[in-house]
Amino acid sequence: MSRYTLADLASLVASRAGTDPDASYTAKLLAGGPAKAAKKLGEEAVEAAIAAVQGDREGLKNEAADVLYHLMVLLKAGNVELDAVMDELERRTAQSGLAEKASRRHA
């Protein structure tokens, strides 16, 4: 079974950049710049958190998909490549989470 990956999603978002905002929701979000994309990501994250607190597994699944999509849009709007984010995650997993978090306070 083939899985749709975050890289696939990032590629789809990139392919919609610069297309007609009246024909593509992704293009419409990107046309609004990072502020619009960030606002939508925040809204979706709150909805995911509410679903989790309410024990709504189906809602959480759906909202998590929205969060991932809107995160890919925000990364594109902010000119940050998914590979750079994945590299950062890899760097962080090379140490314990507590040590990594403590190191960010001193940077």
Distance CA 24, CA 37 (A): 14
pLDDT for the residue 107: 54
Block means of pLDDT (10 residues each) for the chain, length 107 residues? 88 96 96 97 98 98 98 98 96 78 68
Which pTM was predicted?
A: 0.86
Q: Which two tokens stand for residue 74?
A: 């925000």
Q: What is the number of helices (H) and of strands (E) in the chain?
A: 6, 0
CB-based burial, 60-92: b 16+ in 10 Å, e otherwise: beebbebbbbbbbbbbbbeeeebeeeeeeeeee
What does DSSP assign to residue 20? -
Cβ-in-10-Å burial (0-12, 13-18, 19+) of 41 comes to buried
User: Which CATH architecture is the domain 6-80 placed in?
Assistant: Orthogonal Bundle (1.10)
